[in-house]
Chains A and B, each alone.
Chain A
């Protein structure tokens, strides 16, 4: 049976999948570590992880021998990087202005 692509709401309609996201919002976990939180079989957990991954909620990285699930924070981190960058940008520029105006006095 082929698994149909689910929309975002369908993906998190499942309480098990919501619980996976909740666990991952605390920290990244290996698939094995995630599976320990559930009564179901590991293949069943893997299936939920696959659905979350396909929908873009999580990314999966191989760390050593383990596959790690990471909450997808791309959008969030990108935004934070812009803010951090321009925060120091403005600090430097205002310092320039101060130096410039002090010279004129």
Chain B
């Protein structure tokens, strides 16, 4: 199973230029989404995109800036859900800028898609059943012996 999203793109522009496009709301809105972003750790902001009802997603993404390393690294939380403040998606977005040749390699990582709710299914789907059995056996020995 895929746990993380990772995309690497090369742009023939300096990291400072790419950074502007990641951090200035008036530029972000031109390629990503409308937002009230500020490159300040702890700043909370929202992105607004099209709802995806089937997925239980109302189109609002709640974010908090986690890390700002000018021209190098930027990360924020990325949370969403079906509405009324209910959060079912809890993840983190990390941007890394690496100077390369005459431009910039931009790495996007979207990760942290985890939750106990999915753990059992995850193990079963990944043929990890043997592991569950072993763990269970230990647990059961402790409980019932």
CB distance from A65 to the nearest CB of B (A): 28
CB distance from A34 to the nearest CB of B (A): 16
Q: A27–B10 Cα gap in the complex (Å)?
A: 43
Contacts of B140 in A (CB 8 A): 9, 13
Q: Does chain B have a CB within 8 A of A63? A: no
Q: Contact between A100 and B31 (Cβ–Cβ < 8 Å)? A: yes
Interface residues on B, range: 35 or more
Q: Contact between A79 and B118 (Cβ–Cβ < 8 Å)? A: yes
Contacts of B7 in A (CB 8 A): 90-91, 94
A94-B9, A97-B31, A101-B13 known; A79 vs B115 contact (CB < 8 Å): yes
Q: Contact between B55 and A81 (Cβ–Cβ < 8 Å)? A: yes
CB distance from A93 to the nearest CB of B (A): 5
Q: Contact between B144 and A13 (Cβ–Cβ < 8 Å)? A: yes
Q: A97–B24 Cα gap in the complex (Å)?
A: 13
CB distance from B32 to the nearest CB of A (A): 5
Q: What 1/0 mask marks residues of chain B from 49 to 63 whose CB sits below 8 Å from any chain A CB?
A: 100100111000000
Q: Contact between B9 and A98 (Cβ–Cβ < 8 Å)? A: yes
Interface residues on A, range: 35 or more
Q: Does chain A have a CB within 8 A of B2? A: yes
Contacts of A18 in B (CB 8 A): 133, 136
Q: Contact between A85 and B13 (Cβ–Cβ < 8 Å)? A: no
Q: Contact between A82 and B55 (Cβ–Cβ < 8 Å)? A: yes
Q: A86–B3 Cα gap in the complex (Å)?
A: 12
Q: What 1/0 mask marks residues of chain A from 16 to 31 whose CB sits below 8 Å from any chain B CB?
A: 0010011001000000
Contacts from B to A (Cβ < 8 Å): 1-3, 5, 7, 9, 11-13, 17-18, 21, 30-32, 49, 52, 55-57, 88-89, 91, 106, 108, 110, 113, 115, 117-118, 120-122, 124-125, 129, 133, 136, 139-140, 143-144
6 pairs, A vs B, C-beta closer than 8 Å: A13-B136, A75-B121, A87-B5, A90-B5, A96-B32, A104-B13
Q: A94-B106, A97-B31, A104-B13 are in contact. List 10 more A-B contacts (CB 8 A).
A: A9-B143, A21-B129, A71-B121, A73-B125, A76-B1, A80-B2, A83-B5, A90-B5, A94-B108, A101-B17
